[in-house]
Homo-oligomer: A and B are copies of this chain.
Amino acid sequence: MWQLYQFPLCPFSRKVRLMLAEKGIAHELVRESPWTSRDEFMDLNPAGQTPVLVEESRGIVLIDSDAICEYFEETIEKSPMIPGTASNRAEVRRLAAWFDEGLHREVVNPLMNERMRKRLISRDAPDTKTLRVAMTSANAHLDYMDYLLDHRRWLAGPVLSLADLTAAAHLSVADYLGGIDWRGHKQTTDWYSVMKSRPSFRPFLTERMEVIAPPAHYDKVDFN
């Protein structure tokens, strides 16, 4: 059985969890707090980051959320998540990178620093200016998603793809940390309701991080 070393509010871990669930791949979660740099974990992944996926009996160690998703896209035919022509697939990968890089750097990572790492690790108060900038960026990202969803059924085209899983993973962490104001983003809100109601997403709705509570709408599929 695959073992996934992951952290509950790590968006890259969530992306892999969505991928594994959509593909129907049995796995066990192993909680890892990457900032502790535990020796056994650093031996597995010198980059010291979650997620890492291990199949001990076959001696396989997969590292990096993209490498993991591509691995299962290649080996499991069920529910293609990088579907279509080479150009379609390039668009899925462009958007997955857009969310993994831009949305993470501008929104998710600052929220995790201010509202999670400072709470759990340094015990400093969050910096309100950083939070304000992150929430403004979140708004710009939702605008871009609204624009995409005005033209397409899903973010990268007519079918669900890794672009949707990636965006949902990052937004779910930002939303848990109270960094998303959904008002005025009907297209993205509707899309996110649909994502939230997928069986692959449902475990996130009930998981809680100790000491950090999500806003009241977090686990409501219809936001109410």
Would you give the 0/1 interface string for A56-69, flagging 1 where the beta carbon is closer than 8 Å to chain B?
A: 00001011101110
Give the dominant DSSP class at A's interface. Answer: helix
Contact pattern, A 97-141, Cβ under 8 Å of B = 1, otherwise 0: 110011000000000000000000000000000000000000000
Copies of this chain present: 2
Q: Bound state CA distance, A91 and B45, in angstroms?
A: 12
The distance in angstroms between the C-alpha atoms of A91 and B64, with both chains bound, is 9
The CA-CA distance from A124 to B144 in the complex, in Å, is 34
A61 to B89 CA separation, bound complex (whole angstroms): 12
CB contact list, A174-189 vs B, under 8 A: none
Interface string of A61-103 (1 = CB under 8 A from B): 0111011101100110000000000110111011001100110
Q: Are A47 and B93 in contact (CB under 8 A)?
A: no
Is A158 at the interface (CB under 8 A from chain B)? no
Q: Are B102 and A90 in contact (CB under 8 A)?
A: no
**Contact with A74, one of B66, B86, B91, B97 (Cβ below 8 angstroms):** B86
Given A46-B144, A67-B93, A71-B86, 5 new contacts (CB under 8 A): A47-B101, A47-B102, A64-B94, A71-B90, A75-B86
